[in-house]
A and B are shown apart, each in its own frame.
Chain A
Amino acid sequence: MAVSDRIVRWRYRLVPDHLLGEILTKRWVDNAIPLLILVAVAAVFGWLIPDFFSSASISSLMRQWGEFTLIALALMIVMVAGGIDLSVGSTFALGNIVALALLNVAGWSVPAVIAATLACGAAVGLVNGVLVGYLRLRAFLTTLVTLIIVRAIVDMLLLKYSVAIAAAFVDSDLWYYFGEGDVLGVPFSVAAALAVALVAHLVLTRTRPGWQVLAVGGSRRSAHNVGIPVRRVICLTYVVSGTLAALAGVLFASRLGGAGADTGVGLEIAALTAAVLGGNSLGGGRGSAAKAIIGSIVVMIMVNGLVRLGITRGGSSLLLGMVLLAAVAIDVRWLKNRMKFLSKVYVSPTFAELPPAPPIEGASPYAVNDRLRPVEAIGLDRIDGPEDVILDEDDHIYVGNRTGDIVRFLAPDYTRQEVYAHVGGRPLGMAFAKDGALLVCIGGMGLYRITRQREIQKLTDETNRSWFSIIDDSRLRLADDLDIAPDGRIFFSEATIRYEMHEWPVDCLESRGNGRIIVFDPNTGKTQTVLKNLVFPNGICMTHDGRSFLFAETWACRVSRYWFDGPKKGTVEPVIPDLPGYPDNINRASDGTYWLALVGMRTPAMDLALKMPGFRRRMARRIAPDEWMYPNINTGCVLRFDESGRVIETLWDLGGESHPMITSMREHRGHLYIGGILNNRVGRLKLDGADEGWTGQKSYWGQDAARGRA
């Protein structure tokens, strides 16, 4: 290997490029940017103001933060449902003055005051809710107007009661507890805010009303179409928001005990900045209590930091305006371009060097010939994409169909066909179990079992989660081929954990070990990954000794053998390390050897490209997927090899005149049946000198089991 190749290989082995794309697929990445902003802001102000985070300064901040967070949470709940509530600042002021007036002037008891104040906030919210939810007014403008009206009402109340409020004295420990007391060492307002945040989080993520709110915000029309009472849900979010704002007002009243004309002025801008900065989307559907909390901490640090730095009110409104615009800009662009960006960076090729390809001409065992030319077509144009072909003891042919069916062609002439079972998904590899049930790997679904009574049972669709993988690899995405050990354990391959069924050729551009082999034990019902980091593991076939199986790795162009039992248990041995094409399914032949399908042949250009990951990455980023360089999956062949890796014969149909595209083949009673995942037929070839009575069932389960099944 050349030095430059070695460097490239280490570069791609050490830097996990694929993680970037995987992180971007995660929902929690939405929180990453706000969190970074929080850390940056905290660092900057901590550096500018030496004792900013000293305990004295923190504890005075905390109570303010508790009230502010309540407002931010109120706004978050409305925003998640796709609305906006600008009246929170005025409602906060209203809550403050109403609580003080009722307590100081009217002399109500503390619980009654709180109940009445919250009801007052809820009433303001109800007005907003009816206008925006039921009458479908524009939320922004409507709540701006209610902001003005409520503010004017507050001013009127102030004129009337502010003197009386200032003169009265409240003798109630409970009342002062709200403003000055601690809960377990935490200021009461902080405890209240955290409690509300927890409830909001649980409701939004765990309960039906919360899901309805998220659904309405995500897509109003769809929510309506599935029967969610959209208008009521929206109305209720405003009621909740008004109540929370009034609660913050009560806490404020208890803490300061006074009312001024500037109480809560501009609070809506600060709260809006907090909500958006935390990552709650304008327009709804995306938001959480955690985001509101992150945002409120950032805004609190900024505003108080500016005050501590001695910057006047103009400076802080300048900064808030800029931060708000920047946050919204990031939010809008992020929402719009996230998937675009993801699709550009998700494909992350790595270095893959294939051994030199053996020649396919002259004296080579792979030499091109026309031996597949006499193949006859079964079900021509009546089937779409039979990836695998299998026959039962009565000689019926079973194939998977692109429409999610298992189709059966009836013996003896195979002119009649029926849907044997509709499984959904994309049926791929198949095998018959000892009791005659058909086991099938279904792309996008997992491992399924179809009993002889045509009952469809799920065997497994998940395996153990890897500890350090970022994408959730517990779920099976692309179960590909399977085979059954003598003790009934089912070994099956999952070609790739990074791509869905229809994108399988893209995995070649990566040529990383994205695939794995998994075992399902029907006795315990457990699923376990046995081999990881395989390069598109595809065909699996039990060897005749019953202790190991052969498996093909398509993009690595090799066939290996894995011992799951016996003295060599747990080891992998290469069988054919250097195929001239991309191997697919492996199946037993009647004379103790094995059939292997090559789905396509290697080309020098593709082999070279595999050594140039940078080239492939640029290709994936800069040009459309239709223009990408893909491996050849059109022209392939069938070959026969033995356990030592010696290739015995190769069957070609050069030019694909009789049977283009081969992904599998199955020997049955002296004939070879050929399937192809992009093909419109099943091929059938008479084999000269093969055992006319040999079937797969007899080979696996013995003469008796096969006869009993028939």
Chain B
Amino acid sequence: MQGLGRLSQEQIVFGLAVLLCAGFAVALPGFLTTNNVLNLVRSVSILGILGVAMGLVVIGRGIDLSLVALMAISVAWTLSLIQGGMPLVQAIGIGLVFSLFVGAVNGWIVAYVEIPAIFATLAMGTLVYGFGRYYLFDLDVVYMPPAGAPLLWLGQGTLLGVPVPIYLFALVCLGGYLFLRYARGGRYLRSVGDNILAARITGVPVRPTIVMQYVLSSLIGYMAGIVTAASVASMNTRVAISTYVYDVILVVVLGGIGLSGGKGGIRNVIVGTLLIGVLLNGMTIMDIQYTVQNVIKGVILLTAIVIDTIVNPRDEQTAQQGDI
């Protein structure tokens, strides 16, 4: 058994993250302070939560490009409802129902209308953003009203000296892990991602499973949105049309969840999040221009996809015509 060949992508990425960490620690003063490390983990925990959502969909051989747009619009709507004087719980409930509904529509379009997932969710992201901007609110940024103050703890509070978002990230990871590992739905999800035809033949309810994965992703996305809104006391809806969702994909692909589905788990998301977190944090400390950061992230994502394609080559026999 050759040494490097036996290493999984997960281990390589983890190693890279550690190396990068060590490099930054040596090169950048103030990187390896407790404060900065907590700050680092806190800042990427939202990305990590979104990564879990995306990871679940990608394991089921889908992709959800509407994740961030849906998160932004549903949470922004919640905030504006609270502003309008609605009780906190009711507003959150409405936002959540909206989010789940759009997730179910996504799933229905992918599973029943049979539009390619990447396409359906891209269009859905545009649609949801347009819907929110046109019908729900007028401003780009919706601020957290005083009535929403109890929520702020979720984003800004600490527990035993550790920021709350980190607990939330851990909680979502644990939930995702248990779901994938022990729940029937999780097993269905993995089998659908691995080989949809075989899953169908063995009696897995393939289409409901696909709907479920998008509903799950919208649920987790909504949670991430609430945490986002709580940490900065506002929701900037322009994030919906930014490249943020590709950071999420970057986390997932870099962590080692193959885009062809069926492979990987929550651990991959954690590792990917760590690497991206270290990278982003380091670049920010080095004061690299935002646009240059974008180029760097893009190139890394491209490299990750190339490696993913080489490691998990598309099977020409089972790849479907029109699988773009």
A residues bordering B, Cβ < 8 Å? 82-84, 131, 135-142, 144-146, 148-149, 151-153, 155-156, 159, 219-221, 265-266, 269, 281-284, 311-322, 324-325, 328-329, 332-333, 336
Contacts and interface: CB of A to CB of B under 8 A. Distances in A.
Contacts of B241: 265-266
Contact of B120 (A82, A83, A328): A328
Contact of A328 (B119, B309, B310, B314): B119
Contacts, number: 148
Contact of A329 (B113, B305, B313): B113
B189 to A, nearest CB: 21
Contact of A136 (B115, B289, B295, B314): B314
B201 interface: no
Nearest to B298: A149
B159 interface: no
B324 A156 contact: no
A149 B116 contact: no
B35 interface: no
13 contacts: A138-B324, A140-B324, A141-B249, A142-B305, A145-B302, A152-B291, A155-B291, A219-B321, A282-B119, A313-B130, A313-B133, A314-B134, A324-B126
State the main secondary structure of chain A at its contact with B.
helix
B324 A82 contact: yes
A153 B322 CA distance: 31
Contact of A148 (B109, B124, B243, B321): B243
B292 interface: yes
B126 A317 contact: yes
Given A153-B295, A329-B113, A145 B301 contact: yes
Contacts of B295: 149, 152-153, 156
B298 A148 contact: yes
Most B CB atoms within 10 A — which of A135, A149, A221, A317?
A317
B144 to A, nearest CB: 22
A138 B130 contact: no
Contacts of B114: 332-333, 336
Contact of B129 (A84, A317, A322): A317
A610 B54 CA distance: 60
Interface in B272-324: 289, 291-292, 294-295, 297-299, 301-302, 305-306, 309-310, 313-314, 316, 321-324
A318 B134 contact: yes
Contacts of A329: 109, 113, 115
Given A149-B295, A155-B291, A328-B115, 11 more contacts: A83-B324, A137-B306, A141-B305, A145-B298, A148-B301, A149-B294, A283-B324, A313-B133, A314-B134, A321-B128, A325-B109
Contacts of B302: 131, 142, 145-146, 149
Given A138-B324, A317-B130, A148 B305 contact: no
B244 to A, nearest CB: 11
Contacts of B322: 82, 281-284
A220 B131 CA distance: 38
A146 B301 CA distance: 10
Interface residues of B, number: 48
Most A CB atoms within 10 A — which of B116, B122, B259, B289?
B122
B127 interface: yes
Interface of B: 63, 109, 113-116, 118-120, 122-134, 241, 243, 246, 249, 259, 289, 291-292, 294-295, 297-299, 301-302, 305-306, 309-310, 313-314, 316, 321-324
Contacts of B309: 135-138
A148 B246 contact: yes
B108 to A, nearest CB: 11
Contact of B305 (A145, A151, A221, A315): A145
A630 B22 CA distance: 82
A539 to B, nearest CB: 46
A316 B301 contact: no
A321 B314 contact: no
Contact of A311 (B109, B134, B313): B134
Contacts of A316: 130
A321 B126 contact: yes
A142 B324 CA distance: 10
A138 B297 CA distance: 18
Contacts of B313: 136
Contacts of A144: 246
A82 B125 CA distance: 23
B324 A282 contact: yes
Contacts of A149: 294-295, 298-299, 302
A314 B109 contact: no
Contacts of B123: 269, 321, 324-325, 328
A324 B123 CA distance: 7
Contact of B118 (A141, A317, A336): A141
B53 to A, nearest CB: 17
Contact of B134 (A151, A220, A312): A312
A322 to B, nearest CB: 6
A311 B70 CA distance: 22
B259 A141 contact: yes
B259 A282 contact: no
Contacts of A324: 123, 126
Contacts of A220: 316, 321
Contact of B324 (A84, A155, A314): A84
Contacts of A333: 113-114
A576 to B, nearest CB: 55
Given A321-B126, A325-B120, A148 B294 contact: yes
A599 to B, nearest CB: 43
A127 to B, nearest CB: 9
Contact of A159 (B133, B291, B314, B323): B291
A320 B241 CA distance: 14
B129 to A, nearest CB: 6
A595 B309 CA distance: 72
A579 to B, nearest CB: 51
Contacts of B314: 136
A312 B243 CA distance: 22
